[in-house]
Chains A and B, each alone.
Chain A
Amino acid sequence: MAYQLSPENQERVQQISKRYPHARSGILPALHIVMAESGWVSKDACDHVAELLSVPKIYVYEALTFYTYFPQKPVGKYHVQVCHGISCNLRGSEDTIRYLKEKHGLKEGEVTEDGLFCLDRVECLGACGNAPMMQVNDDYFEDLTEEKIDELFDGWRKAAGNGHK
């Protein structure tokens, strides 16, 4: 079935696009709304956005594929994005990534079997003063240590009713 935003969100997309001289400016806000609703952006969703904004579909595909913030395939419930920029690297982001893989079984670019987590390396997230850091969904987690990571992951596993294996 073709992708559709909820009626309220469709209305929001329409409203937001009126803030700009041309509806094309509404593409990024619309993609953000799609992502907030479904976690990732499919081609169907792009078609839907194009229709809502009355712009050619190619405009939306173009934006989706240029801007790396929008995942183009489903992500885990917790999308773990670890910064591997220069400042985080200096303070041990590679160790963080290794720890996430070894201790918590995350794989780069893949969703774990339970559907909870997926790991991505990302470029500088602008929190260099509190490196190493990661972004999980909308939130930043900074000054990461192994204990802090364990605590966070235990919490998430519990919240998902999954327990620690």
Chain B
Amino acid sequence: MALEKHVFGGIDIPGNTDIKVYEEHGGYKNWKNVLQNKMQPEEVIEVVKASGLRGRGGAGFPTGLKWSFVPKGTDKPKFLLCNADESEPGTFKDREILEKDPHQLIEGMAIAAYAFGAQTAYVYLRGEFVKGWKMVEAAIAQAREAGYLGENIFGSGFNLEMYTHRGAGAYICGEETALIESLEGKRGMPRIKPPFPAVEGFYRNPTVVNNVETLAAVPKIIENGAEWYRQWGTEKSPGTKLWSVCGHVERPGVYEVPLGYPMKKFFEEDLGGCWKGRKLKAVIPGGSSVFTMTPDEFLACDMDYESIVEHGSMLGSGGMIIMDETTCMVEMAQVIATFYHHESCGQCTPCREGTGWVHKMITDIEAGQPQPGVKDLLFDVMDEMFGTTICPLSDSIVMPIKSMMEKFPEEFDYYIREGKSMITGKTRMAHKRIDDKPNVYRRGEPFNYPKAENFTTSFDTVAHETPEHEMPDLRYFRKVNG
């Protein structure tokens, strides 16, 4: 492999899940340094800010800035949550860190917790990652035994407790406020923001949620400084990023790539192009939730946040899905629709209903029984779904599917007209329409929403009365760091 791992080299060190091996390679040195040389929390935040590290879960929000939003001088306990709920289709980069280099994550979490004063940290892993969970559990136990976690770490007076928490198969819990809800034992339904978690998060206390990759990058940045990290990447997207590549590609896998690296070079030289010598047809570059790209757009862009947007998609989580010329785009749209329909939490109407409609309509097409005018209606429904919900799940089904329909219209038209795929020549869905009765959707009249000033109470004035049995007991958590 031509690409070298600069920040996540630990993944390739055999036995690095063991604390001894990790320490031999300089592990926990930075955490020790921060505490023993009395690096101030503000300094840590400044370094991370200067490095330009951005959230690697998908949103790309500057990490240092996120930490600095946590209010100072509050008597509320603060929490750090590590988002290891990696569920975005096409994304499998965090798993690599969890299973092969958990100590770097723990060290990063410790430094992050110190930076904004969190006393308790949780790693929220998706339930299916049993191996990763065991690795992180074991690593936390080792770190505690070695004195890197616990009370009064290295005599600095700083306390930090760290726990794992397993999710249970809900994609939506990767959204930060849904993750918080889930950690509170509730259904993972995203919250309306503001208030942002930094102010009111876990049990209404200041909380920072960061992705695994983001946190795991922190120790190296603290060790080598912001300038070192900035030697890679572009002005606006500094550093390196883990990309997970899958689908019809010669060498799928996880790659650490400097941001701004030319996509063409990456695809042709490092990935070896499409498998079986076939031609490239389409790519979804950032996990299944972003716009589909044509080969021209894809090969012209650079691998950073801005360039990919310029070329019509988004970097997202860096989960690249490659499709070759044998791929039927209608089938892909159906598979994607199935996923989002299944994973909608059901809170907002446009998403709950919309994902169902889109799924039904595309499945009808795939069964060779589309209703008249299905294409217009699909666009119509998707327009209603975009930007009208609390979280971006609704947008996430619209972006890939709408762009597929726009960029490969002939395939959709053919399937609707002929009742079979233009590519495979087959009708994929053997069954009848899902409901077994004619699907007729009505186009709704525009709805006049009541104006906010007509409400007798605004949401701001409603007092949040927490029933007795729901009152969190914060005594212990408050005590931890005085």
Interface set of A (CB-CB < 8 Å, partner B): 19-22, 24-29, 31-32, 54-56, 59, 62-63, 66-70, 84-87, 89-91, 122-131, 135, 138-140
Contact = CB atoms under 8 A, between A and B. Distances in A.
B92 A90 contact: no
B169 A68 contact: yes
Contact of A138 (B91, B130, B288): B130
A90 B469 contact: no
Given A123-B342, A128-B246, A32 B186 contact: no
**Which 6 pairs, one residue from A and one from B, show the smallest C-beta to C-beta distance?**
A69-B169, A67-B168, A69-B168, A128-B246, A24-B185, A21-B472
A63 B245 contact: no
A127 B473 contact: no
Interface in B167-194: 167-171, 182-188
Given A19-B163, A87-B321, A62 B186 contact: yes
A161 to B, nearest CB: 26
Contacts of A126: 86-87, 91-92, 94-95, 126, 128-129
Contact of B339 (A31, A70, A85, A135): A85
Contacts of B87: 123-124, 126
Contacts of A127: 92, 95
B130 A28 contact: no
B169 A67 contact: yes
B477 A124 contact: no
Given A26-B185, A29-B165, A86-B332, A131 B246 contact: yes
B184 A25 contact: yes
B167 A67 contact: yes
Interface of B: 77, 86-92, 94-95, 120, 126-131, 161, 163, 165-171, 182-188, 202-203, 205, 244-248, 252-254, 284, 288, 319, 321-323, 327, 331-332, 335-336, 338-339, 342-343, 345, 469-474, 476-477
A128 B244 contact: yes
A127 B95 CA distance: 8
B183 A123 contact: no
A29 B168 CA distance: 10
A68 B186 contact: no
Nearest to B244: A129
A55 B477 contact: no
13 contacts: A21-B476, A22-B203, A62-B186, A67-B168, A69-B169, A86-B284, A89-B332, A122-B169, A123-B339, A126-B91, A126-B92, A127-B95, A128-B92
Given A24-B184, A63-B186, A69 B127 contact: yes
Given A124-B88, A139-B130, A28 B335 contact: no
Contacts of B120: 19
Contact of B168 (A21, A25, A32, A131): A32
B230 to A, nearest CB: 29
A69 B87 CA distance: 13
Given A68-B169, A68-B170, A85-B89, A21 B127 contact: no
Nearest to A81: B128
B128 A125 contact: yes
B166 A24 contact: no
Given A28-B185, A70-B168, 18 more contacts: A21-B202, A21-B473, A22-B203, A32-B127, A67-B127, A67-B170, A68-B168, A69-B128, A84-B338, A86-B321, A87-B246, A89-B331, A91-B248, A123-B171, A124-B89, A124-B339, A131-B246, A139-B131
Contacts of A140: 131
Contact of A25 (B91, B183, B246, B335): B183
Contacts of B127: 32, 67, 69
B153 to A, nearest CB: 18
Give the most central of A59, A90, A139: most B CB within 10 Å.
Answer: A90
A30 to B, nearest CB: 9
Given A128-B92, A140-B131, A62 B187 contact: yes
A89 B428 CA distance: 13
Given A21-B474, A90-B327, A31 B168 contact: yes
B235 to A, nearest CB: 31
B49 to A, nearest CB: 30
B169 to A, nearest CB: 3
Contact of A135 (B128, B245, B343, B474): B128
B325 to A, nearest CB: 12
A37 to B, nearest CB: 15
A70 B94 CA distance: 23
Nearest to B339: A123
Given A25-B183, A129-B254, A85 B95 contact: no
Contacts of A62: 186-187
Contacts of A85: 89, 288, 335, 339
A68 to B, nearest CB: 4
Nearest to B96: A129
A140 B126 CA distance: 14
Give the most central of B92, B126, B472: most A CB within 10 Å.
Answer: B92
A20 to B, nearest CB: 8
B131 A66 contact: no
B166 A32 contact: yes
A97 B321 CA distance: 21
A37 B473 CA distance: 29
A69 B133 CA distance: 15
B168 A87 contact: no
B473 A84 contact: no
Given A84-B335, A123-B343, A129 B252 contact: yes
A31 B165 CA distance: 12
A86 B128 contact: no
Contacts of B129: 126
B91 A128 contact: yes
Contacts of B205: 21
A127 B129 CA distance: 10
